[in-house]
Structure 1
């Protein structure tokens, strides 16, 4: 691609949905190399008419975006490119980032006219109208072949788009449709296919879809990668054998390589490792950032926001950050850094992952599955290393394991629940979320690596909630979005399923011990460790705490609650559950029914180090969480008479923080 623009600055802005989007501002340089990319629409680009420039340089913007897609991971490609006549400068002569203009819908609509030949089919035009309403800065008209996500779409808008498609075209469009068919042309064709299926006009073939639902699933995922088959295809990437850890591993101070340290759980894992001065000599954190200095800054910011940062870790040399990406070869490390770390690290805690409840398997595969394979490669390079992998109970979220745990809970020995020795074959075909599928493939690959000699553990937590002392929690998690959405609605659903919630400090301590403390014999090379709450509360117990502490939230039948929620969201479009509507409006009593877990291995690991090998969330701890969520502004204060929320004794300057990246 010809070099045709400079200078440029990249920053993060929030759109009208308060979603963070990556924006690049640039100044086009006039000259012959730019002429091929500029459209002659008259006038001059200036600071007040940025929409004019966005239209004039649309071809240039598209070319830049396509070029960056080949060079950068998807999350690093800007969602929006804004051409400027000149960069705003502050008195020091530096770019004044707060003064960079952000285009709005009205500005663009007023500045652009409809080009010739832009018309489409009636379905495409109807789809274009939906996009124009949803996107905060769409071109006019929206090209039929531009990706929804390249034009500023994100997961919340994707959810809204699917609901608008269902309402406008009266078809059962699956949520994943927009990820598989991201352009207007593709979406319109899929809608037509769904319409014909609903009318029974789709030709039936032997062993083909026989219902509209099956046809919709195939229409949405005709090119979708099947995760069970992908596991089989990835097996050759494993080595023939892996060396075990040295005999003195459990006696000497260790250097630990940690991924995902900027995430909610990762910040607490980092603290647990570094406070264990007798066993942990140093922690090396892989952080996504443009430089090692920025990586440290990002790590410090993430941990400080959760109240778990100590600057002395850096000053003493016990903490090192290296820049890298989960979905890059060798994590994006140069050969010298890879060799140094592989020779220095004694253990790997692979906690980093792209966590998303909507993305299909293919969009998560690179970071979550191939990233795990890269971590396994690092474990066998240089000195042999112990491998601790933070997985999720999403990997066993199938009816098979619910039925298995129900049958085992009736066994007279009292060791009910899914055993930690299970081979995961009961989830080979029926996992519904791309995230759960990516964890399943990763675990299965680790099982095989373990059979070939890799030593370590797979830790499977369920819902990781706030710190049991400070109450700092992750506001992005499903349980807190559910709580906030119910408070906004004034109703809670009647669901008596149990919920496996464990405080983050207990999960982090368990993960850290899995890397530095021995598990009593006998054990396999790779052992699964279940994080199980005892006693496990029910959703009804969880919701009951709301009214107990003065929130007006009446319990009602799930179907009534679902109908009221859908109406509230469509009318107000202001509910914390909006990004998760596909989940909560499906069949929450069924989708939240989770298997009970046998946690014998985890108890054996923890019992030499602590008297309390299990943690759960009771009403008192729930009160602390609610108090913190009110303090940081995530929840409103209770409006009715009830038990006063506890006063939090900690003086931490924390903020409402959500899930972060790797």
Structure 2
């Protein structure tokens, strides 16, 4: 307060910060005066030598006030050796200093917390510091009668929110002793001192409620700021203080104060207030006069949400010390007041915080977008977890790894052990920096937590490493100190095998021991002797490591084993060659679940004049986006899209629109013709609620079932729910409400067996033609090698049976779906695209002469929609066949044609090069992984043989496309479509523009021109590929 009264700038050098950071602070703000507080020295010791050296050698200190302290009667004194350096100036205390300041004069210097490793200094102004006090008092009922509890350290932000607020209001302030800021004790202190208001961070709020039983009914307002606030913590707080209103606030160090808020009514007033808020509390609305804005990751599109009272005020009231990124309007007219010199007049400032809002792609693991807050929210749902934090860390091989740091709920842990029998282990833990890590005591809790997450998250979002801590480290601002979270070396995390483990180890065969040992070489911290016959490699590893594992097993055991063999059993200790009739055996049982009779819809009632309403699954995927375009390009059509994982219908529609914009397809005129429902194919009834189910049943005229779980190594049992059972439910929906035409998007994977390849060769050689669309595919009850192909085969048989019972529509079988004919937009997860890039990375391409049934996505979408609106009688198959059909070597030769240095080599040589890459293990930091790694098993499984495919007849496709031209489009596409060398060039140009591939550097033709705005759209809207919306 004395510093502010003197018109100077105040900042705090918190002794809890590491010496290196204290040094950085001093070097940035170069103070002229230094005040040392006795209590801080008593508690934390003298300044570190590094800090003291910086003060002595680098700073020009004019004034030092050592040993500042309060006497028992409240008098302020300072000085060493009992001397009081204020003795000669105390008579000046009643007279205010003659200092001229204004609203824009600086008063505080704060530093960002550095939770991501980088800290920045921010100058605050008097205007910013005091701006919201009157409004907050009015809005939240604060007054001089309020009693504030300061639950954070006093460095930086807490000075401004926890201390200045009660001072400005004339309220009371309670500062707990350091030893009271811990679980259980803090809640007891709150009950003892009866504060009415507090303003902690969410992390400090977790300390307040963690393990607490003491209620503190006096609390009326809790303002939380600084991190994501979960509803779980809010519920805990409401139980301990039912009368308190919870206000989630958002701000940055750069704004001096929080600038937006979301109010949660007290449990006493509304016990259900938290029920509709999901896992986290929203950021809410701007403070009075504040305009909140957000933008996508690229600065081309801004959205704003403003306070309804006023929309031309400040986004931000500060600027950086080291880089003054602010825009100043004209200075106000000088009216003669002296302080006008320190006032720049009213103006708007816009500060880009860098914080992620609605969509939080905090990390990416192996190409999948990871929602870290979603993981933490589900971890927090386990009664065994008191606190948690999930991060993406790099291991010693620079492999990105999901790591969850968990603090156990000890009381619940002991109850859990009592119900299961094992004894608790007495372990003091290992000190790693500021953390105490338990390496052995909570071994069982890790397996329990992993199973807990498996039932709630997709497999790629389940962390592979769990580190149990005594408590999460906090920085002085009360936030979780992420850089201080330890990442122990694998050798430390490796556990000793128990007696039970050793008995299991002895029961294994030598082959099984060899495989288990191979596991331990790839999975950090795994003791091979702890691997059981029923252990799953994928609890700790992932499919890319599995590729390397199986390559090592092939070399060690000299057996030809594929990743599919391993995945069929779910236990990678044994190589399972179980029979491949599981999928066909399930068909008879599933057929009994079909309705006895299905409604038959006629296509004649649907026309451009009468209109048609489509229900579409998988609308945000690659093919789904083009299906939506083909539907909406037609006259008088409407679309109901099923969107997975959306929190509400508005969010669902935004996701669909964003996907269409990403592919360059969106037209504003479609907005009123699109609606959405929220669903999930892995759940019964497509995951639709009753109202949505009835709405679709009563409204839709046609159903295109396009969505599927696509995975080339997952087994049939894993994929049956989203791929097969969803098809049964989709047809059940067609049988309720209005009769509907039904189209099922299948795949030529259902035909890819030796039987049909041989049949095709024989029929083509005798001039009898290719495999007919009318073939029932019953010979493929065995022989299909991928779980995906098996699910499509079973689904096709079920759809055919429903057709015999009355359902009308089509089964559409496309092959490879490549980029758009019009825009060249391509799917970067496509096998052919990965092969093109992988060949460039290896510097070679394999010689394979098989034909490739590849068709542009636009044409595939046209065939699907045409088959839906113009079905042949009954339920028929429609093949999407390439015209012309390139051979694989012709397709890959386009790389050399356009200047990529990839000579053609024999397949065995190419395969050896790829295996050498995999054998080398993890890539170096910043080195790009080979695009073929996720498909390594396919690339090395005798491609010349596995890429053989039968020739397919497509007379039904010709018929429906001609009918579509007559009834709907006036455009005859019955001649079909295919891929040319120039098309490959355009796809390559697109992949270069989006930086998926490097530009060619060798001699060759120039890549064809394309509209580069589509690449900008992809960057702006940020969807597509596995990480995109689906």
Do these two structures clear the TM 0.5 threshold for a shared fold by scoring above it? Answer: yes
Structure 1 equivalent of residue 606 of structure 2: 249
Compared CA separation, residues 127 and 272, structure 1 to 2 (3 A): same
Q: CA separation in 2, counterparts of 1:403 and 1:112?
A: 52
CA contact (8 A) 2:432 2:486 kept: no
Structure 2 equivalent of residue 475 of structure 1: 828
Q: 1:42 aligns with which of 399, 423, 428?
A: 428
Q: CA separation in 1, counterparts of 2:474 and 2:668?
A: 34
Report whether the alignment pairs 1:107 with 2:468. Answer: no
Compared CA separation, residues 77 and 559, structure 1 to 2 (3 A): closer
Which residues in structure 2 correspond to 1:147-546 (within 5 Å)? 147-183=535-571, 187=573, 190=574, 219-221=576-578, 226-245=582-601, 248-250=605-607, 252-276=610-634, 278-289=635-646, 291-292=648-649, 294-296=651-653, 298-310=655-667, 313-314=670-671, 316=672, 318-410=673-765, 416-515=769-868, 517-519=869-871, 523-546=872-895
Deviation of 1:536 (Å) = 0.6
Question: Which stretch of structure 1 is more off in the superposition, 401-410 or 110-119?
Answer: 110-119
CA contact (8 A) 2:640 2:677 kept: no
Deviation of 1:559 (Å) = 2.6
TM-score w.r.t. structure 2 length?
A: 0.55
Question: Which stretch of structure 1 is more off in the superposition, 109-118 or 454-463?
Answer: 109-118
- Aligned partner of residue 614 in structure 2, secondary structure: strand
Compared CA separation, residues 168 and 62, structure 1 to 2 (3 A): same
Report whether the alignment pairs 1:658 with 2:1025. Answer: yes
Q: CA separation in 1, counterparts of 2:587 and 2:659?
A: 33
Deviation of 1:296 (Å) = 4.2
Larger helix percent: 1
Deviation of 1:468 (Å) = 1.7
Q: CA separation in 1, counterparts of 2:685 and 2:991?
A: 39
Task: Identify which of structures 1 and 2 has the higher relative contact order when contacts are C-alpha pairs closer than 8 Å and 6+ apart.
Answer: 1
Question: Which stretch of structure 1 is more off in the superposition, 37-46 or 7-16?
Answer: 7-16
Deviation of 1:173 (Å) = 2.9
Deviation of 1:553 (Å) = 1.4
Compared CA separation, residues 431 and 73, structure 1 to 2 (3 A): same
Structure 2 equivalent of residue 604 of structure 1: 959
Structure 1 equivalent of residue 447 of structure 2: 62
CA contact (8 A) 1:569 1:575 kept: no
- Aligned partner of residue 644 in structure 1, secondary structure: coil
Q: How many residues align?
A: 616
Q: CA separation in 2, counterparts of 1:21 and 1:618?
A: 41
1:153-188 deviation per Cα after TM superposition (whole angstroms, max 9, x unaligned):
2222222211122223333333224324445xx61x
Which residues in structure 2 correspond to 1:538-577 (within 5 Å)? 538-571=887-920, 574-577=929-932
CA contact (8 A) 1:287 1:321 kept: no
Deviation of 1:617 (Å) = 1.0
Compared CA separation, residues 569 and 161, structure 1 to 2 (3 A): closer
Structure 2 equivalent of residue 196 of structure 1: none
Compared CA separation, residues 565 and 258, structure 1 to 2 (3 A): same
Compared CA separation, residues 266 and 23, structure 1 to 2 (3 A): farther
Compared CA separation, residues 422 and 131, structure 1 to 2 (3 A): same
CA contact (8 A) 1:262 1:287 kept: no
1:617-646 deviation per Cα after TM superposition (whole angstroms, max 9, x unaligned):
111111111111122222222121111112
Structure 2 equivalent of residue 194 of structure 1: none
CA contact (8 A) 2:899 2:1004 kept: yes
Compared CA separation, residues 286 and 619, structure 1 to 2 (3 A): same
Deviation of 1:593 (Å) = 1.3
Unpaired segments ≥5 residues, structure 1: 192-218
Which residues in structure 2 correspond to 1:67-146 (within 5 Å)? 67-69=452-454, 79=464, 81=466, 83=468, 99=482, 107-111=489-493, 113-117=495-499, 118-119=501-502, 120-121=505-506, 126-135=514-523, 137-139=524-526, 143-145=530-532
Deviation of 1:143 (Å) = 3.6
CA contact (8 A) 2:428 2:438 kept: no
Report whether the alignment pairs 1:595 with 2:950. Answer: yes
Q: CA separation in 1, counterparts of 2:705 and 2:540?
A: 31
Deviation of 1:379 (Å) = 1.2
- Aligned partner of residue 368 in structure 1, secondary structure: helix
Compared CA separation, residues 225 and 612, structure 1 to 2 (3 A): closer
Unpaired segments ≥5 residues, structure 2: 1-380, 418-423, 923-928
TM-score w.r.t. structure 1 length?
A: 0.83
- Aligned partner of residue 369 in structure 1, secondary structure: helix
Q: CA separation in 1, counterparts of 2:652 and 2:403?
A: 20
CA contact (8 A) 2:389 2:405 kept: yes
Q: CA separation in 2, counterparts of 1:391 and 1:231?
A: 16
Q: CA separation in 1, counterparts of 2:485 and 2:655?
A: 25
- Aligned partner of residue 489 in structure 2, secondary structure: helix
Q: CA separation in 1, counterparts of 2:857 and 2:479?
A: 42
Deviation of 1:502 (Å) = 0.6
